[in-house]
Amino acid sequence: MIVRRVGPVSVAKIMGAVYALVGLLIGAIVSVISVVGGVLIPGEETSGMTGALFGAAAIVVLPICYGALGLLTSLIGAALYNAVASVVGGVEIEVQ
């Protein structure tokens, strides 16, 4: 089986969702680190609240940014694959 063409929009939708999930995971990690770090900084009473706000923003902003960039780059990548595969011949996949 040779993959000669992929649907750029379908690839972009799938990869956008995958990258959004990765962004959610990274946002959760950043959130935990910022909240714990904000609480552990001595001498600043507002650092805990700043860490919590930064952590909440990371859970919202990072999945959106990762998803949008994943969608855009995979759309471009799929279109480039189609262009190159039309000249070279595509990727050969062996299935049972």
Dump pLDDT digits (tens) for 47-88.
567 777 777 888 889 999 999 999 999 999 999 999 999 999
Predicted TM-score of the model (pTM): 0.78
Q: What is the DSSP letter of 49?
A: H
- What average pLDDT does this structure show over 16-38? 89
pLDDT of res. 43:
62
Instruction: Look at the block and give the residue holding tokens 């770090």.
Output: 37
* 33-49 per-position pLDDT tens digit: 887 776 677 666 665 67
pLDDT of res. 64:
94
- What average pLDDT does this structure show over 7-26? 94
Instruction: Look at the block and give the residue holding tokens 């279109």.
Output: 79
Query: What does each C-alpha distance from 61 to 26, 33, 44 come to in angstroms?
Result: 11, 16, 26
